[in-house]
Each structure stands twice: as C-alpha cells, then as structure tokens.
Structure 1
Amino acid sequence: MSAATHCWERGGRGVSDTPSYLHVADALRGHITSRRLQPGDRMPSISALQRDHGVSTGVIQRAYAVLIDEGLVLARPGAGYYVKSQEPPAVLVRRQRGAPGDGSPTEATLARQGVVGTWRHESQPRAADARIAARLEIQPGDPVMHTGYVYLADGEPAQLAESWEPMAITGGSLIVLPEAGPHAGIGVADRMALIGIEVGVPVERVTARQASRSEAQTLGVAPAVPVMAIERTYYDQAAGRPVETADIVLLGSRWVAEYGRRP
C-alpha cells in the first residue's frame, strides 16, 4: 500500500496537505457513488468513522457537512446521517384549512397526495414576547401555549412550525395542549370548535427567504436554501380576536402554495 493510499484511508495524517475532513468526505462519497450505500441507507456513525480514520469528532462532522452541501447526505437530528436520494422529490401542494372534521390540515393535505404525514412536537407554557403579543393582541408577558413542530413527509423533514395560543382562551380546557389529551392532533380549527369558537379561514402572510442555520439543520439541508415563510393567524369569527398565531417554514424545493377553491 502506498503512503498516499494509507493517508487517504486514515484521514490524511502526516502525508498529505489536504485537510483530513476532505479525505473522510472522499471516502464516504466513494461509498455513495459506487452504490455500496443506497438511497435511504444510514451512513456510518461518527464514532465508527473516528475509529476507522483516527480523527476527531469535529473532522467527521465537517466531512458530513461537505456531503450535505453537495446534496448527497441528509442529516436527521437524533437519528444520524442518511444517503439522500438523487431523484427529485415530488412537489407537495399546501392548501389552507380543509373541511371541518378533517383533523390535522397538514396530515390531510399530504394524505390526499399519497404521502404519509407524521410530526414531532413539543408544547410548553411561555410568556408572550412583544412580537407574539402584538399578533395575538394581548399584553407582553401574558401566558401562551407554545408548540414547536417538525413535519415529515414519508419520513423526511419537509416543514417546520411554531404555534402560540393565549392561555386566557384555552387554559383550563381539554384542548390546552394541542398534541395531548382526548383531542390531540386534530388541528386548530376543530380544537377551537370544541370550546365554541369558530375560526374560519386563517389570515396568512407569505414571504420567501433563506433558511436559518438551525432551520437547515432540522430539515437536513444545506444552510441558506430557499424556504417559504408563512405567518398565520386564526381569528374568532364572532369576537374578531386572534386565537392562534404560527410561523410556518416550508422547503422551497418541496412545496408550492395554492389558495382559493374551485366552484
């Protein structure tokens, strides 16, 4: 075995001027392009690559960052790294609220397109900051229920959302936790209907921007990819007050938005 070959396999120590993380990235890329690792396969763990290449955790993380930027690898927080399919993903159509009783609008929208929609979530009470208080027409510091979501389409992250609901409206009721209890996961409109509030179609402001670093990491894509950002607010149709507001982030490569309905 030549010195150069030995250097490539062991992370580039002492022989080549090429950074170690690029040698590791080359080795992993070779497994992908040779089809030894197929789309959807889990990539080697960081600890296994540390052992095989004799390098630090940081070197392996930088190597994976290179492959993510190249579109070869998908990072799934808490689950590791996976070979990304090179087939263009199906474009998903996002529509506003469906018919009452449809349950989760995102799940229903994906199901109509033959895609299995699942999500991760975490809810906790918070004090409304000035931005959220203005959107909900409450006072800064008032209690709200905050819920963060990661939506997956056929197992791959495709949408993020953060939701805030005034505790003055939902506190003390069975719907206070959007994703827990007997009415979990049925969506804002159907949950509010259970406490006598009709919300109708939400108001949405749609903009385009680049994903933040944390958003890109959660979605498993390179930083600064295009995303569609939606600021959504549901209103009590009788009282005119906001009852929920949310920030929704959708991958520009996966989604288009469609508004209005054909007669």
Structure 2
Amino acid sequence: MREQPPYLRIADVLRQRIANQEWTPGDRLPSRAQLAQECGVTEAVIRRAQERLIELGVLEGRVGSGTYVAEPRTRVQLLRSAECEQSEGSAFTADMTALGRRGSWESRSDGMVPAPSDIAQRLGIAEGDYCVRTAYEYLADGKPVQLTTSWEPYSVTAGTLAVLPEGGPYAGLGVVRRMAEIGIKVSRCVERPEPGHANAEEANLLGIQRGALVTRIQRTYYSDEGRAVETADIVVPAGLGEIVYELPVKP
C-alpha cells in the first residue's frame, strides 16, 4: 500500500486536534513555523495541509492575519428544475427559505459590454456585439455560496424597461418572467455542468481556497423562436453547495 503523502497525514493531525477542541471555531492557529516544529515537517508541508483543510471548509485563511478554524458551514441544496424560473419571487430565496436559511444576493450590471468570442458564439451574435453583463453573488445567511455571470444581447432588451436585470420595474424577476414582460417567450434552457477549480477571483469572493473544487454550469435560455436571449456561467463550490436536478417525467 502506498504511503500517505505527508501533507495529508498532517491534515489529519490538525483536523483531529480541532475535533479534540484544542482549537475551536474562530481560533487562530499557531504559525506555520511553530506547527512545522511541533509536527517534525517542513513549513511547505504545513502550508499544503492547511490548504487542504481550507478546501474542505475546516479552516479559513485571512489575508495578512493567518489561518483560523472556520465556523461550521452546512452545504446548501441548490435545486435546478424546470419550474424554478416560473415561481413567484426569487427561486434562490425560495430554496433557502425551504432549508430554513436566509437567501439574498448582490449584483452589478454593466451595459454595452462587447461580447467576447465564446459568449458571442453561445448567444449566436457577432463577436463585439453589445451585451448587458451582470455579476451575481448569492448568499445563504449572509455567506456566499454561488457566483453567476449573466450575458444578455443588448439588441434583445434595448429600449425596454427590462434592459437591466436588477433595475427598473422587473428587477429580480428572473430571465423567463422579464422576457415575458417584453413579449418574448422563453421555452428552453440548456445547462452544461462540468467540474473545475476556483481561480483567484472566485476564491476571494467565495471565501475558499484557490484551486478548490467547484462545479461550473454553462446555462443558456432560448426563446420559442430558437434565439438565445441569455447565457450565464454559474460557479458552485463543492464544499458549500449540493446541486440537485429535478426533471419532469412524462407518463
């Protein structure tokens, strides 16, 4: 049997010390140099062990301050279903309410953003055509659990009250209901999930370790005429969110 890598062995040691309440949530761990001396390993091994525990949500790193025992964060269930966009209000807040959590989100929209090549291809428009780009950070009890970046062709909503997803009278209604308000029927949604690793910006926003496992979902909504009216990149950390698909079954 292959010997366990040193950093995994040390991760188990640190996790056991936390389980034994030597350190409790909110406590700052000793320096890497001190832990390396105590455990008889190098500081590099301690760093990798801590990074592993940060990925698992046991520890959290604070820039310029050190490494701390993380407050317990229960994974939340994020439902993907055919009905989620049809519900009254926000599907995310409804999901969180069902779990006894407080759901909220923060967003920022930028208008007239030229579409990069991959987004243009997904939307069926020319590279450089203008889009409205909106970045979302979804929160459960005030802590981030999901990131979404949405792109809508400016030509679809220009001159209407639905041009900004989170502004005007249709703010927060979701893509399907907003489009319906301007006479566009959204009839199809395609999602492509795949595993990945958090980049530096995502890790910073989500409070996780860079390189932590995430699920990326590429979502595109289509009108009944077959036109793509929105595409989005959704990022869910494996340690914070459980993605559940609920699909209708015809008898």
Q: TM-score, normalised by structure 2?
A: 0.71
Match of 2:228 among 230, 236, 242: 242
Aligned pair count reads 203
Q: Partners of 2:190 and 2:209 in 1: how far apart?
A: 30
Query: What's the CA shift for 1:198?
Result: 1.4
CA contact (8 A) 1:75 1:221 kept: no
Counterpart secondary structure, 1:184: coil
Q: Partners of 1:168 and 1:34 in 2: how far apart?
A: 56
Match of 1:89 among 74, 97, 110: 74
Match of 1:162 among 115, 137, 149: 149
Counterpart secondary structure, 1:93: strand
Structure 1: 4+ residue segments shifted above 4 A: 32-35, 65-70
CA contact (8 A) 1:119 1:149 kept: yes
Query: What's the CA shift for 1:193?
Result: 0.7
More strand by share: 2
- The residue identity in structure 2 corresponding to 1:106 is F
- The residue identity in structure 2 corresponding to 1:211 is A
Q: Partners of 1:74 and 1:107 in 2: how far apart?
A: 28
Query: What's the CA shift for 1:83?
Result: 6.1
Q: Partners of 1:231 and 1:34 in 2: how far apart?
A: 40
Match of 2:195 among 198, 208, 216: 208
Alignment CA distance shift 1:230-1:167 (3 Å): same
Partner of 1:121: 107
Q: Partners of 1:174 and 1:168 in 2: how far apart?
A: 13
Query: What's the CA shift for 1:33?
Result: 5.1
Larger Rg computed on CA atoms: 1
Q: Partners of 1:110 and 1:245 in 2: how far apart?
A: 24
Residue by residue, what CA displacement relative to the aligned partner does 1:173-230 show, whole Å, maximum 9, x if unpaired?
1111111111111111110110111113411001011111211111001111111100
Counterpart secondary structure, 1:202: strand
- 1:194 aligned onto 2:181: yes
Query: What's the CA shift for 1:34?
Result: 5.1
**Residues 1-263 of structure 1: pairs in structure 2 closer than 5 A:** 35=24, 68=54, 71-73=58-60, 84-86=70-72, 89-96=74-81, 97-98=83-84, 100-125=86-111, 126-237=113-224, 239-253=225-239, 254-261=241-248
* Aligned residues with identical type, % of pairs: 40
Query: What's the CA shift for 1:71?
Result: 3.3
Between 199-208 and 108-117, the greater mean CA deviation after superposition: 108-117
